[in-house]
Amino acid sequence: AMDMLSQYNSQVFIEVKDKVTLKDLEVLQRTFPNPKGKVIVISFNPSVLHGIKSHRKTVPYLNDVKLLLVIRDAKDAKDAKDANIYGLDGLDANSISRKQVRRLNKQGMLVGVYTKNDKRSIKKSLRKGVDFVTTNEYQLCHKIVQKY
């Protein structure tokens, strides 16, 4: 899947659920050799992201990879503050409005939606002004984003 994603000129959000190994990081680096502004690793688990962050001293490539803690169903500034406690910021916008997305963006948060796999829900999310859409249907999503 990462080889398929690497052909698109867009940001790539890679969700991690478990501890990432050095071998995993080598695959990431080989697939996306120039990650700055393009590769963002997301997780609902702060300890997974801190594990990746701890490799930045020995794997300089990671300094150009953004790490986002995704807080499911974030609704307000308190949720955004909770994300910042970890030094990682990203929120799931499934249950918030366009106005709330803009307010969180002003606070420096990236706001996105989690696993939108059909045309209708992807478009609805984009109308909210989200920064990212995670999907299993990346070709469909890419096509919609290009037209949006």
pLDDT greater than 80 at residue 142: yes
Residue 7 has a pLDDT of 57
Instruction: For 57-116, write each residue's pLDDT tens digit.
Output: 899 999 998 888 776 665 555 555 555 544 445 556 667 788 888 887 887 777 788 788
Beta bridge partner(s), residue 112: 92, 132
The structure tokens listed for 55 are 């490799």
Exposed e or buried b per residue across 110-131, where buried means at least 16 C-beta atoms within 10 angstroms of its C-beta = bbbbbebeeeeebeebbebebb
Per-residue model confidence as pLDDT tens digits over 12-65? 778 888 998 989 999 989 988 888 878 888 888 888 888 998 898 899 999 998
